[in-house]
Amino acid sequence: MKRKAKGIKNQTTIQNFITYAIVIAFWVFIQIWSKAGQMTSLLNGLLVPICTYVILAVSLNLTVGILGELSLGHAGFMCVGAFSGAFFTKAMAGAIPSVGIRFAIALLVGAAVAALFGFLIGIPVLRLTGDYLAIVTLAFGEIIKNLINVLYVGKDSRGLHLSMKDVASLNLEPEGEVIIKGAQGITGTPKASTFTIGILLVLLALFIILNLVNSRTGRAIMAIRDNRIAAESVGINITKYKLLAFTVSASIAGVAGVLYSHNLSSLAATPKNFGYNMSIMILVFVVLGGIGNIRGSIIAAVILTALPELLRGLNNYRMLIYAIVLIAMMLFNSAPKAIEMRERLMEKVKGKGKGAA
Amino acid sequence: MSFLSYFINGISLGSIYAIIALGYTMVYGIAKMLNFAHGDIIMVGAFATFTVVSTNGGNPIVGILAAVLVCTVLGVTIERVAYRPLRGASPLAVLITAIGVSYLLQNVALLIFGSNSKQFTSVVNIPALKLADGQLSISGVTMVTIASCIVIMIVLTTFINKTKMGQAMLAVSEDKGAATLMGIDVNRTIAVTFAIGSALAAIAGVLLCSAYPSLTPYTGSMPGIKAFVAAVFGGIGSIPGAMIGGIILGVIENLSKAYISSQLSDAIVFSVLIIVLLVRPTGILGKTIHEKV
């Protein structure tokens, strides 16, 4: 019995190492690829976004796959992380001259602020279940985007000034600087995000999530997902573990946001980058990669981020193809008839193998 | 007086949300799926009317009929091709497929009509009603929208309560298995639900673009989401709930645009939704679900 338990443990360790190895192999491959001079500027520009989306997909999988709650507001946490991180980097430009150190602290700030939002939003949201929870997370995501669009923050010698109206109402001193300019957002963030940093963050996110999933806490979270009432009856604190998973997921999304914001010179909250469309896109990665399957999320995020860009030659047809591929994949993967057909095919192949032997 | 005018415009906008929300709520009640592509059917309907009326100078009534026809066929086709094979699959798989359909419709429209905003010719030619010595003016579109909403509500309620098909819908939404045993063709019932929902979306699309005459391939997505919010607000699966939810949402949106901030109106709408759901977790008219161990 003891040996068996050890065996299972070793197996998960091996599985986790394979996941890390895939990510590292991807990094090595890209390094070789670019040394060989094969990288186009298009692909180069995709590297940091790919890391961002991988982190987002992995973190959303914690909420959707492990906790089992459908969240449609993940982009909101990314938005919070992006703005708090970029704000920190800009505001501290005088105090900490090194961009690297500022970026490192900004990552922590982004994670912390997103975690705080995740916690505060989680308290009311996690009381609901199913589609109601989904629509409320969507609502929170939209509220966050909306509020950031009317937020003005400036800095002068007297400290920070905040307004929800316009630049003039900040009452800045003449030499003061406006950092967050409402709908225009934050401009002039240093471009500190690199592919290597991105990969390191992906590994960090994976490390946190995989360890969480394989811990006592992770098992408690999955027990809640599988049967809430049964979990409660064996003494698992539902609220605590749900909130924990939601907060960790939000905080990692915040880190992805910081990575995202330091890859752009101007950051604004538009429906395209932080609206529900983005949340849905991340959800598509998670579902196509396999709900609860962390490795699948990574692969799906990489492929689906690269796919529309690689299809760019097809111009207007690329999003159309993307949509058709998405529907076809879902039908092939999830339709009961398709699953049955696949199983029959597998059996045939297996049967043939046996016959030959 | 200005308050009254904002209020009436709010009811009119809310009526459009309500008509869209009816489609959402019926499909949810019967197929138990969130049809994210519903918003884009609105856009297709608007483009159908646009093609007939604005481009070819056709009769507005023909335009509306064309929209209803195109959308009904489209709705049933989508259900047949994309959703029916997934019956019995996980709800998330269906949701993602619906999102795929939504992308598909948007991009087909993008290819046909381009991304530039089109000027939609209003299908309503009724002059505005002037009340209280011209201080209060109610536009023709507003009156037609509110009237159509009332008519649709009455017809739909009668249809569901008085006809065999309506009763079949209720039965399927209650218990699919039992309904099959009673000899109800579940697939056909769901197809009819999609047809009705899509026809309503077409009407909503025409009304929406008559009131706010700029049309792009993405026109439907935000009203679609808002109508979804309205459906949840009123208790998803409940037809009167969708109506109430839609109208309340429209009024709140218009009043907050007028008196608080036009930029924050969406945030206010969503905040109200959150507060309502926290107090009544299944919406205003939603059924409370008892949990069984």
Task: Locate the domains of chain A by residue range.
Answer: 46-356
Q: Examine the pLDDT at A226 and tell me if it is beyond 70.
A: yes
Which residues 6+ apart lie within 8 Å of A163 measured at CB?
A152, A153, A154, A169, A170
Partners of residue A143 in chain B, C-beta under 8 Å: 266-267, 270-271
Give the residue on B whose Cα is nearest the Cα of A129: B281
Beta carbons of B90 and A150 less than 8 Å apart: no
Nearest CA distance, A187 vs chain B (angstrom): 21
Range with lowest mean pLDDT among A112-116, A184-188, A293-297, A307-311: A307-311
Q: What is the pLDDT of residues A309-352, one digit of tens each?
A: 777 777 677 788 888 888 998 888 888 888 888 888 888 887 76
Beta carbons of B90 and A330 less than 8 Å apart: no
Q: Examine the pLDDT at B1 and tell me if it is beyond 60.
A: yes
- Give the residue-averaged pLDDT of A109-126: 93
**The predicted structure's pLDDT at residue A97:** 83
Q: Which residues of B69-78 are buried (b: 16+ CB within 10 A; e: fewer)?
A: ebbbebbbeb
Give the residue on B whose Cα is nearest the Cα of A227: B293
Please count the other Cβ atoms lying within 10 Å of the Cβ belonging to residue B92.
Answer: 19
**The predicted structure's pLDDT at residue B96:** 86
Beta carbons of B110 and A334 less than 8 Å apart: no
Strand order from edge to edge, sheet including A177-181: A159-163, A152-156, A177-181
Q: What is the pLDDT of residues A61-81, one digit of tens each?
A: 999 999 989 898 999 999 999
**B284 touches B235 (CB < 8 A):** yes
For domain A46-356, which CATH number applies: 1.10.10, 3.90.1070, 3.40.50, 1.10.3470? Answer: 1.10.3470
Q: Examine the pLDDT at A355 and tell me if it is beyond 60.
A: no
SS3 A312: helix
Q: Examine the pLDDT at B66 and tell me if it is beyond 50.
A: yes
Residue with the bigger pLDDT between A349 and A224: it is A224
Which residues 6+ apart lie within 8 Å of B214 measured at CB?
B117, B118, B119, B120
**The predicted structure's pLDDT at residue B29:** 86
**According to DSSP H, which parts of chain B are helical?**
2-31, 38-49, 60-78, 91-113, 140-162, 164-174, 176-181, 186-211, 221-234, 239-259, 265-279
- Give the residue-averaged pLDDT of A151-171: 80
Partners of residue B104 in chain A, C-beta under 8 Å: 320, 323-324, 327
Beta carbons of B100 and A138 less than 8 Å apart: no
Nearest CA distance, B235 vs chain A (angstrom): 10
SS3 A179: strand
Range with lowest mean pLDDT among A143-147, A307-311, A313-317, B205-209: A313-317
Best probe of the A interface among B25, B92, B265, by most A CBs < 10 A, is B92
**The predicted structure's pLDDT at residue A161:** 81
Q: What is the 3-state secondary structure (H, E, C) of B192-253?
A: HHHHHHHHHHHHHHHHHHHHCCEECCCCCHHHHHHHHHHHHHHCCCCHHHHHHHHHHHHHHH
Range with lowest mean pLDDT among A159-173, B106-120, B135-149, B256-270: A159-173
Residue with the bigger pLDDT between B91 and A27: it is A27
**The predicted structure's pLDDT at residue A1:** 46
Confidence of residue B291 (pLDDT cuts 50, 70, 90): low
Orientation angle between helical segments B265-279 and B239-259, nearest 10 degrees: 140
Range with lowest mean pLDDT among A302-311, B13-22, B224-233: A302-311
SS3 A35: helix
Q: Which residues pair with A180 in a beta bridge?
A: A153
Nearest CA distance, A114 vs chain B (angstrom): 19
**The predicted structure's pLDDT at residue A208:** 95
Distance CA(A118)–CA(A178), nearest Å, equals 27
- Give the residue-averaged pLDDT of A256-263: 94
Distance CA(A180)–CA(A84), nearest Å, equals 10
Q: Examine the pLDDT at A357 and tell me if it is beyond 70.
A: no
Please count the other Cβ atoms lying within 10 Å of the Cβ belonging to residue A212.
Answer: 17
Distance CA(A168)–CA(A151), nearest Å, equals 13
Confidence of residue B65 (pLDDT cuts 50, 70, 90): very high
Partners of residue A283 in chain B, C-beta under 8 Å: 95-96, 99
Cα-only R_g, chain A: 22
| Cα end-to-end distance, chain B, whole Å | 55
**The predicted structure's pLDDT at residue B48:** 92
Confidence of residue A356 (pLDDT cuts 50, 70, 90): very low
Mean pLDDT (chain A) is: 87
**According to DSSP H, which parts of chain A are helical?**
2-35, 41-61, 74-91, 99-125, 130-149, 195-213, 216-226, 228-233, 238-261, 271-274, 276-289, 294-310, 318-334, 336-356
Beta carbons of B267 and A147 less than 8 Å apart: yes
Distance CA(A289)–CA(A304), nearest Å, equals 10
Q: Which residues pair with A267 in a beta bridge?
A: A186
Q: Which residues pair with A177 in a beta bridge?
A: A155
* Residue A171, CA atoms < 13 Å, CB-side half-sphere: 6
Beta carbons of B270 and A139 less than 8 Å apart: yes
- Give the residue-averaged pLDDT of A271-276: 84
CA dihedral for A262, A263, A268, A269, sign (positive or negative):
negative
Distance CA(B281)–CA(A185), nearest Å, equals 35
Nearest CA distance, B57 vs chain A (angstrom): 29
Beta carbons of B104 and A327 less than 8 Å apart: yes
Residue that has been written with the tokens 């409370």 in this structure: B288
Which residues 6+ apart lie within 8 Å of A140 measured at CB?
A73, A76, A121, A125, B270, B274
Nearest CA distance, A174 vs chain B (angstrom): 28
Distance CA(A354)–CA(B35), nearest Å, equals 45
Residue type, A12: T
Token duo for residue A211: 């360890």
Residue that has been written with the tokens 């307004």 in this structure: A163
**Closest CA relative to residue A288, chosen from A299, A277, A273, A278:** A299
Please count the other Cβ atoms lying within 10 Å of the Cβ belonging to residue A270.
Answer: 14
* pLDDT above 90 as % of chain B: 45
Q: What is the pLDDT of residues B16-61, one digit of tens each?
A: 999 999 988 898 888 888 888 999 999 999 999 999 887 777 788 8
Range with lowest mean pLDDT among A38-42, A203-207, B41-45, B157-161: A38-42
Backbone angles phi, psi at A162, to 5 degrees: -130, 140
Give the residue on B whose Cα is nearest the Cα of A229: B293
Beta carbons of B225 and A276 less than 8 Å apart: yes
**B222 touches A146 (CB < 8 A):** no
Beta carbons of A326 and B34 less than 8 Å apart: no
Backbone angles phi, psi at B124, to 5 degrees: -105, 125
Distance CA(A38)–CA(A190), nearest Å, equals 27
Beta carbons of B90 and A291 less than 8 Å apart: yes
Task: Locate the domains of chain B by residue range.
Answer: 2-223
Backbone angles phi, psi at B88, to 5 degrees: 95, -10
